[in-house]
Amino acid sequence: MNYEFCIKSLESNPHCKSETSIKGLVIASTKNDAFNTINVERIAKTILNERKASPGNKAALHECIEVYKDANSSLNKALTNTKTHDYRIANEDLMAAFDAPRICEDIFKQIKKAKSLIRDENNLFQ
């Protein structure tokens, strides 16, 4: 994980400013990440509905939507595991979720004639 990204993400989250524990920071930032995954998923669905995307781009977007759904599920599991103090499993869940942008970009690269239509959104997580 990128230290500067983590600091910037925590500083920009108003819920983190009042937190005094690691657990509170993890919960606040994980909720923020869950919101962001839902937002990327929404953007991908909007592009599918509004643009005349190529068949390759449509296929990649559909796969990326599923990747982000899985990421959001992992983030929700991480929240549950953090709240029950199972930090080892919470960390595994977080790492799984943080792979979503890379996986999504890889999907676009693997499909011929596909160009990432959500690269900027994916880069927010890297």
Contact call for residues 94 and 75 (beta carbons, < 8 A): yes
Q: Which of the pair, 60 or 121, is modelled with greater confidence?
A: 60
Assess whether pLDDT exceeds 80 at residue 93.
Answer: yes
The confidence score (pLDDT) of residue 72 equals 94
Q: Encoding tokens for residue 50?
A: 């509004």
> Is the pTM higher than 0.75?
yes
> Nearest Cα to 104, choosing from 77, 68, 57?
68
Distance, in Å, from the CA atom of 124 to the CA atom of 98, rounded to the nearest integer, reads 11
Question: 40-91: per-residue pLDDT in tens?
Answer: 899 889 888 877 778 888 888 999 999 999 999 999 999 999 999 999 999 9
> Nearest Cα to 81, choosing from 71, 92, 70, 72?
92
